[in-house]
A and B are shown apart, each in its own frame.
Chain A
């Protein structure tokens, strides 16, 4: 170990989903121990795994239990260990052809071996079935994946059953989907609106996580064709020139908030935009413009005294901040993927739900 090498260690309880480990560096050597798999040896268990940068991104070398159960060797060639550097926006995953999509809510997309997980953010392009049909109205809006049906199907929430939407089939030319690699580098920010329920308070559903908290102040930008223009921060009839803002009074979930604006009698919100209107179509947006909070994130059992702000439900690497403040969420580190051994498709690098795993990560000088 030379003078400037870096090392880190930690543990976590698996949820069965890929695990992101934030570090002050990108490791070139990773070791993983699944304590639960060792404590109760069973077929498909992965007690040890390691990765060296020379293997390539997404690979891993591991030991796993066979049916006996006895330890044997194996490798992972995709969705193993990978490093990440989340420092610049507008980075996307590979473009994937869309085979088809249902005109319903949620919209179910058919993409061969999409590789996406619930919570991933994607963007669509094309989505024309013909020059005048399809669902190109969705192009350019970031969507969080709400469900994964199987390896070839995933869903996003949007009223695709509107009369101006038609299903896609037969792999339309130019219909693609891309994963947004680092969707929340700064938060809170702009969200695109999927639904608005008017009333004494206003409930807003966004297409991807809004990252707002109770006390966040928001503004709306709703183009006329989408309906509820009365929510727009300007113009203001009562005090000309003074922007109209609302405060978040309740966070229902990562994509739904309740705002304290009384929108009773406002024009109904509609997503039923025509295909002909797509060129130049601007989207309805809600954006964070401030907050009225005075303290940091509330502590909970086992949390640090001054927890870092959360973005998309995950702690940032920052120090304490006012809840709802604009925060930086750039980060680097590595990901323990969901990958399976080539020889055992039922094994998983990240273990099963509730498994306890210990990791070590190194960046060596030599």
Chain B
């Protein structure tokens, strides 16, 4: 009796493509979230200029009875300039790939290009903020490093600094509700932090940290929101900046950007913020063999309220 097995009569085609693509690990992009958005017009030159009036001196001296007017004030303004820059990337795809591959190559490559562009937009903002915003080293932790790990006093200090600077908070508070394990959330600035710091935030539970799931209602919470400490709501991302091994004691240094409204402005030019460009193989050489897919965008950025932003540097309690 012979049994026919796949050793003798195997399938002619050994594989079939699973019906859905696997996901692409992609960081949450928090930096664009906190930006003001401005569009520069076409034919508007290379540089976007912002104007911020300065406060006039409040007239706290009484006029008296002389009948003589006080000296006039000269209004002043601050000017902030940011130069537009252009970015782009693309792929050259041979027609045989498009013809023969089983999956929709052009579709998923388009998708990846779009995500790459959005991630570039966020990374540019991240690195610009690193270069242009002032720093405070955390001092409230107990690891003895410089900066220290985060203590609740660091959150309090940075929020007090921004409050003293008359920065505007992003979020109004959430009133407490009669729900077990929840607590009210203060009106807050945003802090953009690394996902690697989440254990350190958790360690502050009971001394100031409130997980997003402990908000009385988390309808206003952003997808990347991890929780809240005093007047700061924390957004985490794996792409938040970390300087590896550069603290006084060779720990990793984390840059936590604490911002109020209008602190950072993202600028595009005449809607040139996203161009997906497909060129048919017809436009390539003599035999029209290669298609191209590309993205291109223009972006500038500026710290438009330097008093409403601080980079709070910290290390971790461990490592």
Contacts and interface: CB of A to CB of B under 8 A. Distances in A.
B221 interface: no
Nearest to B123: A88
A262 interface: no
A280 B147 contact: yes
A190 B242 CA distance: 18
B302 interface: yes
Contacts of B241: 89-90
A91 to B, nearest CB: 9
A234 B164 contact: yes
Interface string B238-268: 0001111111111001000000000000000
A176 interface: yes
A363 interface: no
Interface size class of B (residues with CB under 8 A): 35 or more
A140 B137 contact: yes
Q: Which 4 A-B pairs have the closest CB atoms?
A: A280-B139, A325-B81, A321-B83, A189-B131
A99 to B, nearest CB: 17
B39 interface: no
Given A219-B307, A238-B57, 11 more contacts: A89-B127, A125-B245, A140-B246, A190-B131, A235-B164, A245-B78, A278-B146, A279-B139, A280-B140, A291-B81, A326-B81
Nearest to A233: B307
A66 to B, nearest CB: 45
Nearest to A218: B306
Contacts of A283: 135, 137
Given A126-B248, A279-B145, A88 B127 contact: yes
B303 interface: yes
Given A278-B146, A321-B46, A290 B246 contact: no
A281 B80 CA distance: 30
Contacts of B78: 217, 245, 289-290
A132 interface: no
Contacts of A123: 246
B151 to A, nearest CB: 9
B138 A242 contact: no
Given A140-B247, A187-B131, A278-B248, A324 B81 contact: yes
B246 A241 contact: no
Given A185-B131, A239-B58, A280-B140, A322 B49 contact: yes
B155 to A, nearest CB: 14
Given A89-B127, A139-B248, A326-B301, A239 B55 contact: yes
Nearest to A174: B250
B83 A322 contact: yes
Contacts of B206: none
A309 interface: yes
Contacts of A281: 137, 139, 146
Contacts of B147: 140, 280
Interface of A: 3-4, 88-90, 92, 95, 123, 125-127, 136, 139-140, 174, 176, 178, 184-190, 217, 219, 221, 233-235, 238-239, 241-243, 245, 278-283, 285, 287-293, 309, 318-322, 324-328, 330
B127 A186 contact: yes
Contacts of B148: 279-280
A290 B77 CA distance: 11
Interface in B181-235: none
Contacts of B126: 89
Contacts of B30: none
Contacts of A234: 164-165, 307
B248 A287 contact: no
Contacts of B303: 289, 326
Interface of B: 46-47, 49, 54-58, 78-83, 85, 92, 123-124, 126-128, 130-141, 143-148, 164-166, 241-250, 253, 284-285, 290, 300-303, 306-307, 313
B81 A189 contact: no
B55 A242 contact: yes
Contacts of B290: 3-4
Nearest to B289: A3
A66 B259 CA distance: 62
B79 A292 contact: yes
Contact of A318 (B55, B56, B83): B83
Nearest to B120: A87
B146 A95 contact: no
A95 B133 CA distance: 26
B127 A190 contact: no
Nearest to A136: B248
Given A90-B243, A280-B137, A176 B250 contact: yes
In the complex, which of the residues B58, B141, B284 has the most CB atoms of chain A within 10 Å of its own CB atom?
B58
B132 A325 contact: no
A235 B54 CA distance: 15
Nearest to B242: A90
A1 to B, nearest CB: 12
B232 to A, nearest CB: 18
Given A245-B78, A320-B46, A326 B127 contact: no
B130 A90 contact: yes
B134 A190 contact: yes
A290 B303 CA distance: 9
Nearest to B148: A280
Contacts of A127: 248
A326 B83 contact: yes
15 contacts: A3-B284, A90-B241, A126-B248, A217-B78, A238-B57, A239-B55, A241-B166, A279-B139, A281-B146, A282-B136, A291-B81, A292-B79, A318-B83, A321-B46, A330-B85
A88 B82 CA distance: 19
A282 B83 contact: no
A324 B80 CA distance: 9
Contacts of B133: 190, 287
A281 B56 CA distance: 35
In the complex, which of the residues A288, A291, A328 has the most CB atoms of chain B within 10 Å of its own CB atom?
A328
